[in-house]
Chain A
Amino acid sequence: MRIGIPKGLLYCRYHTFFETFFSKLGSEIIVSEQTNKDIMDMGVEFCVDEACLPVKVFHGHAASIKDRCDYLIIPRIMSICKKEYICPKFCGLPEMIIHSIPHVPKVSMEPIYMQNEKEFFKWCFSAGSAVTKNSAKIKKAFISAKKAQKKSRTGIIEPGQKLTVMLAGHPYVIFDEYLNMGIVNKLRAKGIGIITEEFVSDSETCEEVKKLVKKPFWTFQRRIFGAACVLLRHKRIDGIIYLSSFACGIDSVIIDLIRYCIGHFPMLVIKLDEHTGEAGMDTRVEAFIDMLERRVLNENYNPSPWECVFSGQNPV
């Protein structure tokens, strides 16, 4: 049995789990390549036009391996934290793939509720049953996959020469080098330190969002917004670069929420879409870094930008 795993969307975060699980079941695993032009082109060709770029790219990944596997893992991830959800496009992902790409093999359809072990096992049992009828083996594979996932970490934390920025955005945008036009390397080459939301603990972000009138609906909204506020408050960053995919509804909420709460703290929002011309991004990043450098050199310009977080009343 050959199991196909597209290297798109939350693969970057949960690949250890899925790969361990299926290899423990004794199946052969086919993972698509890193995103490249062919995959992007295929994704744009197959996917419905309204979807965001990461969903399109996911279609490309699925299409690139569909003929080489017997069972395609299309994770319908509904939720990864209690009472919080993931982008609604994940709910319909299997249907989108089956509808848009011709001749797809069998696809995993069950929803995934990752925060709840029992619920999560349901998915594993249904997907695992496609490989083996031995339920003890599935249970064992589930346990070792969970263990392996616990040990794996994603995120970027790198010290810089003078400046550090928070690279914010959905993980599938930050960790897809092709999609984000290699921004991590661009910042590295300029000697800029990078930190992502993974390095702020869940409890800290939960503390932070308690100050909001309404509890965040999406996990990434809580994580990114909370982390931005915590990092800023602890003076660990000099600016925020937000990578947003064009047409992402959740980003539009998070960006405005962050903007509202950080006052005059510098934030650069980069909208990503299909274009491959890098001049637009280079100009914005370069100008942003120039601005940060000059701000640091003239610190008395703005006494303490960090104090503007949640200054005064907070009607959000």
Chain B
Amino acid sequence: MYALGVDVGSVSTNIVLVDNSGNVVEKLYIRTKGRPMEAVRSGLAVLKEKYDDRQIQSVGVTGSGRMIAAIQIGADIAKNEITAHAVAAIQMDPEVKTVVEIGGQDSKIIIIRNGIVTDFAMNTVCAAGTGSFLDRQAERLEIPIEQFGDYALEAAVPVRIAGRCAVFAESDMIHKQQLGYAAFDIIGGLCEALVRNYLSNVAKGKELLPKVLFQGGVAANKGIHKAFENELQLPVFVPPHYDVMGAIGAAILAREKLEREKKKTMFKGFSVSDAEFKSRSFICSGCPNRCEVVCVLENQKAIGYFGDRCGKYNNRSFSSPAVYV
């Protein structure tokens, strides 16, 4: 019996199967590419080959695309990323006191004391220091993102780059390139700049105590990992499933919830990977708010709406209601 966890993020969609003793038995990392439903569908199609609907005991979703994914697959719980990441981190390592999570579009810090989240923060208006920014810079420098970290470790003298704003960091970096600094040193400098930016923006005023876990897609980047250790003067641990921690947390939360409420899962089954999912958006003209409403269609049939402020569409009941807690 497995718990299915899905984390629909801006850059990647992660799907995991967690068994009853908390082990990750299956893990998929799919690029979202701006089409969350297609990413979820293709992930489920892979699992369908190996697993049976009856083996899935509970389903949890998280990430910025959790609303749409919950409607699509029939989730038992749709939880925010912070709670999901914290739950997974505590399960992995009960000693954890600080979680640094850097994903595609946002970065967070979660402070945990005695197994309880006591404080957290997310980046506010700037996405500097997140995965998509690094992706973009790797592309500029024509280096595969997978090797980005190795390049950074080669840096002899990391160049100082302004890290406060993604746009300015980029122009600063271009200037340094024009002046002929080595690519290694520029990348090393970029990693340091991002860590500085993170610590002074997101982690501002927080007490970072060991043990520190570093998770999210960016944790794969050895350069950033090393820059964190240097800056914090602490060992920073990257858990084995660092890239899918949100999905693991969602799976754990879903299992806990169903056990507590003694309910059956709402999972629609792996057959959803055969269905055709589309979404269409329109502007409601009911009032001057002009909400941008999104309608999710399964085989041309509307299965859910969201995006309206008044609940005119939101509250319509469907056969597969998603549970938001």
Residues of A at the B interface (CB closer than 8 Å) are 33-34, 36-39, 178, 181-182, 246, 259, 264, 266, 269, 271, 273, 276, 279-280, 282-284, 286-288, 290-291, 294-295, 298, 301-302
Chain A residues in 8 Å Cβ range of B288: 33-34, 36-39
Given contact pairs A36-B289, A279-B64, A291-B119, enumerate 13 new A-B contacts (beta carbons under 8 Å).
A36-B290, A38-B288, A178-B289, A259-B205, A284-B122, A286-B80, A287-B81, A287-B83, A290-B80, A291-B83, A291-B117, A294-B117, A298-B114
Interface centre among B80, B82, B122, B287 (most CB of A within 10 A): B80
User: How many residues belonging to B are interface residues under a CB distance threshold of 8 Å?
Assistant: 25
Chain A residues in 8 Å Cβ range of B114: 298, 301
In the assembly, what is the distance between CA of A38 and CA of B289, in Å? 8
Chain B residues in 8 Å Cβ range of A298: 114, 116
In the assembly, what is the distance between CA of A138 and CA of B161, in Å? 63
Chain A residues in 8 Å Cβ range of B122: 280, 283-284
Task: Judge whether A283 and B82 touch: CB under 8 Å.
Answer: yes
Q: Would you call B120 an interface residue if the criterion is a C-beta within 8 Å of the partner chain's C-beta atoms? A: yes
Nearest Cβ on chain A to B54's Cβ, whole angstroms = 31
**From B67, B120, B292, contact of A291 by CB (8 A):** B120
Task: Judge whether A37 and B80 touch: CB under 8 Å.
Answer: no
Chain A residues in 8 Å Cβ range of B120: 287-288, 291
Task: Judge whether A290 and B290 touch: CB under 8 Å.
Answer: no
Task: Judge whether A276 and B292 touch: CB under 8 Å.
Answer: yes
Chain B residues in 8 Å Cβ range of A266: 118-119
**From A181, A283, A291, A295, contact of B64 by CB (8 A):** A283
Known: A33-B288, A37-B289. A302 touches B205 (CB 8 A): no
**From A38, A182, A271, A283, contact of B125 by CB (8 A):** A271
**From A269, A279, A301, contact of B118 by CB (8 A):** A301
Task: Judge whether A295 and B289 touch: CB under 8 Å.
Answer: no
Nearest A residue to B207 via CB reads A264
Task: Judge whether A273 and B113 touch: CB under 8 Å.
Answer: no
In the assembly, what is the distance between CA of A288 and CA of B119, in Å? 8
Residues of B at the A interface (CB closer than 8 Å) are 64, 67, 79-83, 106, 113-114, 116-120, 122, 124-125, 205, 287-290, 292, 309
Task: Judge whether A287 and B125 touch: CB under 8 Å.
Answer: no
Task: Judge whether B290 and A295 touch: CB under 8 Å.
Answer: no
Known: A36-B290, A38-B290, A271-B125. A287 touches B118 (CB 8 A): no
In the assembly, what is the distance between CA of A266 and CA of B120, in Å? 9
Task: Judge whether A295 and B80 touch: CB under 8 Å.
Answer: no
Nearest A residue to B309 via CB reads A182
Nearest B residue to A300 via CB reads B114
In the assembly, what is the distance between CA of A10 and CA of B88, in Å? 45
Chain A residues in 8 Å Cβ range of B67: 279
Nearest Cβ on chain B to A297's Cβ, whole angstroms = 8
Chain A residues in 8 Å Cβ range of B106: 280
Task: Judge whether A290 and B83 touch: CB under 8 Å.
Answer: yes
Known: A259-B205, A290-B117, A294-B117. A283 touches B80 (CB 8 A): yes
Nearest B residue to A270 via CB reads B124
Chain B residues in 8 Å Cβ range of A273: 125
Nearest B residue to A273 via CB reads B125
In the assembly, what is the distance between CA of A181 and CA of B310, in Å? 11
Known: A283-B64, A286-B83. A301 touches B289 (CB 8 A): no
Chain B residues in 8 Å Cβ range of A36: 287-290
Nearest Cβ on chain A to B91's Cβ, whole angstroms = 15
In the assembly, what is the distance between CA of A259 and CA of B207, in Å? 13
Chain B residues in 8 Å Cβ range of A302: 113, 118
Chain B residues in 8 Å Cβ range of A280: 106, 122
Chain B residues in 8 Å Cβ range of A287: 80-83, 117, 120
Nearest Cβ on chain B to A262's Cβ, whole angstroms = 11
Nearest Cβ on chain B to A8's Cβ, whole angstroms = 15
Nearest A residue to B114 via CB reads A301
26 A–B pairs (Cβ distance < 8 Å), ordered by A:
A33-B288, A34-B288, A36-B287, A36-B289, A37-B288, A178-B289, A182-B309, A246-B125, A266-B118, A269-B124, A271-B125, A273-B125, A276-B292, A279-B64, A280-B106, A280-B122, A282-B80, A283-B81, A284-B80, A284-B82, A286-B83, A287-B83, A290-B82, A290-B117, A291-B120, A295-B116
Chain B residues in 8 Å Cβ range of A34: 288
Nearest Cβ on chain B to A198's Cβ, whole angstroms = 25
Chain A residues in 8 Å Cβ range of B83: 286-287, 290-291
Chain B residues in 8 Å Cβ range of A181: 309
Nearest Cβ on chain A to B65's Cβ, whole angstroms = 9
Nearest Cβ on chain B to A249's Cβ, whole angstroms = 15
Chain B residues in 8 Å Cβ range of A269: 124
In the assembly, what is the distance between CA of A301 and CA of B117, in Å? 10
Chain A residues in 8 Å Cβ range of B80: 282-284, 286-287, 290
Task: Judge whether B113 and A301 touch: CB under 8 Å.
Answer: yes
Chain B residues in 8 Å Cβ range of A295: 116, 118
Nearest Cβ on chain B to A184's Cβ, whole angstroms = 12
Chain B residues in 8 Å Cβ range of A283: 64, 80-82, 122
Chain A residues in 8 Å Cβ range of B64: 279, 283
Nearest Cβ on chain B to A116's Cβ, whole angstroms = 39
Task: Judge whether B116 and A264 touch: CB under 8 Å.
Answer: no
Nearest A residue to B310 via CB reads A182
Nearest B residue to A182 via CB reads B309
Nearest Cβ on chain B to A265's Cβ, whole angstroms = 10
Nearest Cβ on chain A to B306's Cβ, whole angstroms = 9
Task: Judge whether A264 and B119 touch: CB under 8 Å.
Answer: yes
Known: A283-B82, A287-B82. A271 touches B118 (CB 8 A): no
In the assembly, what is the distance between CA of A178 and CA of B290, in Å? 11
Nearest B residue to A285 via CB reads B80
Nearest A residue to B65 via CB reads A279
**From B113, B124, B205, B290, contact of A37 by CB (8 A):** B290
In the assembly, what is the distance between CA of A34 and CA of B310, in Å? 14
